[in-house]
Each structure stands twice: as structure tokens, then as C-alpha cells.
Amino acid sequence: MLLDDEDYFIECSKKMYQRAEELEYEIWELEEDE
């Protein structure tokens, strides 16, 4: 199944945003440990 460019871009943006939130949360937890 091929997505058109707009759908593909939206999906990538959602995944990148989700990944960024996870990384921020991990960094926050690491800082709390110190």
C-alpha cells in the first residue's frame, strides 16, 4: 500500500513527535536520578 506524500509526511511527523517526547521523558528521568 502506497501513501501519498502528504499522508506519509503526516505519519512521519507523528512518529518523530512521539519519539521526541519519549526521549525528553528519558532525559528528564536521568536528570532526576542525579
3-20: per-residue pLDDT in tens? 689 999 999 999 999 999
Domain that holds residue 8: 1-34
Name the nearest CA neighbour of 11 among 28, 1, 27.
1
Written as nine digits, the cell of 10 is 503526516
Written as nine digits, the cell of 24 is 525528553
Secondary structure (H, E, C), 1-34: CCCCHHHHHHHHHHHHHHHHHHHHHHHHHHHHHC
In this model, does residue 1 exceed pLDDT 60? no
Domain total of the chain: 1
**Residue 16: per-residue pLDDT:** 94
In this model, does residue 33 exceed pLDDT 90? no
- The pLDDT of 13-32, averaged and rounded, is 90
In this model, does residue 2 exceed pLDDT 80? no
